[in-house]
A = this chain, B = another copy of it.
């Protein structure tokens, strides 16, 4: 085995307190397209390395929390710049480790940098109101004190990289960007499916730390493929919050650990969703064919490995449905089988889809081209009645991959009942004309209480990086419905309020002084 390839050099170590440390003798990543292991070895973090990383972050906290908003803004911009300075190597490595196409990885890099720049831009010109209440020494029966509401960073934050977005939801992804913007040092546990990508992105962050003279330890990476490191990280008393994107199973285990620690901490887990699609009848008559095609293309994005992949399509059994189903089948038949992000994800897809096809009342609606290799997975759509769908919890569980279930309802009431029974979702889409939206207004209201993002006449795949985005939703879509992992509000996950009472002007944080245009005084 070698620690080099022809595009770049990798050390395979952890990045802790500004140093690359540890012995690169642990695990390797895997090329899912070639179906072969990659040649680089990575260190495996045990409790000791995790403790070192958290200690480094905690040591950096006191200095980092005192940097100005402008300094943090420059730091985030510099990380984006340093990622772009090495973009070719990063994308080449990420392609080897994930099999994701170059165009997709280029888009994801741009998105990652946009996230960093959005928080940087916010820090230069914050948009949130700050509250101050004027003193009133003459008030009866008691004088009123001057009080002002500020925000403090929580402390060191643990971030878990996600397998399906090696850049945007990993090392320098949204969780890291929003934690750094909030003033919190970060310890990333890199996802074991793309450790080389994590290392290259960490090197970009390390250059930004140096360029901006940020405290050593403000960012740390531990590489780990086993649960030991992950559990030690969320149990560490100096970790004050956790950002996670991944499976319900792992997310819930970590969430429970965080909630039941001696000092409980917030756990922000984005755990996925089946993103139901509702096609309303008037639009179905008008656009059955184009709706079917768009639906298949959305479902096939990243070979179905988006957390916003549409996995449930709800339609009325009416005359237009036949046209929709015909187009849907045609479009599906043209889709290729392809490798998944990891062999484990591919195996799970095979197993889950086999099991679902064996359930009573479930029929195959459409399939993609047959797989030409055992590690490729074949796109699949099933169909079922609403009663059979609701009778079996397995059908309501997310299948990560190019898969959807179409549920045929007899009446509006059946659709209403289905919505009532739905689990929490990241998104839902309503496809309808004006008449539909009027006829189904109660359904729309009910559906809004099940989702984090309610979409009209568009597909759910693609999460815009913008101020007003919400990427979260009722459990199990996320573990904390009050929070988002994308959008400007993601920063708020990592701060908390503090009231300063009768604080001398000279001591007040800048955003609470009279010169802040966002300060509202009561």
A148 at the interface (CB under 8 A from B): yes
B152 A469 Cβ-Cβ under 8 A:
no
CB distance from A257 to the nearest CB of B (A): 10
Using CB atoms, name the residue of chain B closest to A522.
B467
A500 at the interface (CB under 8 A from B): yes
Listed stretches A90-98, A348-356, A453-461; interface member:
A453-461
B259 A464 Cβ-Cβ under 8 A:
no
Please, how many angstroms separate the alpha-carbon atoms of A434 and B444 in the complex? 59
A144 at the interface (CB under 8 A from B): yes
Using CB atoms, name the residue of chain B closest to A457.
B502
A515 at the interface (CB under 8 A from B): no
A504 B434 Cβ-Cβ under 8 A:
yes
A21 at the interface (CB under 8 A from B): no
Cβ contacts under 8 Å, A448 to chain B: 152, 498
B497 A464 Cβ-Cβ under 8 A:
no
CB distance from A336 to the nearest CB of B (A): 22
Cβ contacts under 8 Å, A475 to chain B: 263-264
Question: Which chain A residues numbered 411 to 429 have a C-beta less than 8 Å away from chain B?
Answer: none
Question: Which chain A residues numbered 262 to 277 have a C-beta less than 8 Å away from chain B?
Answer: 263-264, 266
A482 B152 Cβ-Cβ under 8 A:
no
Cβ contacts under 8 Å, A145 to chain B: 458, 464
B497 A148 Cβ-Cβ under 8 A:
no
A458 B502 Cβ-Cβ under 8 A:
yes
Name the residue among A141, A259, A457, A489 with the largest chain B CB count within 10 angstroms: A259
Top 7 A-B pairs, shortest CB-CB distance: A259-B259, A470-B499, A149-B468, A131-B468, A133-B466, A453-B499, A131-B467
Which residues of A pack against B, CB within 8 Å? 62, 66, 107, 127-129, 131-133, 141-142, 144-145, 147-149, 152, 154-155, 255-256, 259-260, 263-264, 266, 434, 437, 441, 444-445, 448-449, 451-458, 462, 464, 466-472, 475, 479-484, 487-489, 495-504, 506-507, 520, 522
